[in-house]
A and B are shown apart, each in its own frame.
Chain A
């Protein structure tokens, strides 16, 4: 069974540009979560999508947005990039009552803003 896949692996953008990160969940998983892992700051919750709807959002500005497609894959868009957006962005997926099972994570996209 394929795991959670994220693309691209690395992304370099200039300040002010837009970045698009992609995530494909495990087959059968309907929920996708995005986390930002900045250096020294641990994992910060960004967004949660389930069945195509945004269910919850972390404390991030509106220039962080995303969507979930009918096949449950997801995109994270970051507009007007700032230097402090440089981080590892992790996607995770789950299905149903997940609290007991935790999430399955992808290997992340390393975004560097120069």
Chain B
């Protein structure tokens, strides 16, 4: 079974600074997709960024980028120029066959003004 691990229960960053959230996963598959979701206090899960395992280029969405290391099974999220609105729970997720997302335990990000 696939597992997703987020080793940082909480992270803190100063406004305008950069922070990196870690995620590792375990799979024997070669074709899969990885995602980062954001869950603000409103509870709704919002897709932040996605990465296809067969693509070597790291995905980027505005201030959000990933460092995808397939051999190491690592998928970290970098948030640049952090804003107060970035404060939320962040979940790393994995899927391959069956369209079922497997989530990590989450990292709570706090942004200090």
Name A's B-contacting residues (CB within 8 A).
Answer: 31, 33, 35, 41-43, 45, 48, 50, 55-56, 88, 90, 92, 94, 98-108
Contacts and interface: CB of A to CB of B under 8 A. Distances in A.
17 contacts: A42-B91, A43-B101, A43-B103, A55-B99, A90-B43, A92-B45, A92-B101, A94-B99, A99-B32, A99-B96, A100-B33, A102-B35, A103-B101, A105-B44, A105-B45, A107-B43, A108-B43
Given A42-B104, A42-B105, A42-B106, A99 B42 contact: no
In this complex, the member of B45, B96, B98 whose beta carbon has the largest number of chain A beta carbons within 10 angstroms is: B45
Contacts of B105: 41-42
A9 to B, nearest CB: 9
A50 B99 CA distance: 10
Q: Chain B contact residues (Cβ within 8 angstroms of A): what range?
A: 20 to 34
Contact of B44 (A41, A45, A106): A106
B102 interface: yes
A35 B106 CA distance: 15
A42 B100 contact: no
A20 B45 CA distance: 22
A49 to B, nearest CB: 11
Secondary structure dominating the interface of B:
strand
B17 interface: no
Given A42-B103, A100-B52, A104-B47, 11 more contacts: A42-B105, A42-B106, A48-B99, A56-B98, A56-B100, A92-B45, A100-B33, A102-B37, A102-B93, A103-B45, A103-B101
A52 to B, nearest CB: 16
Contact of A90 (B45, B50, B95, B98): B45
A42 B104 CA distance: 7
Contacts of B101: 33, 43, 45, 92, 102-103
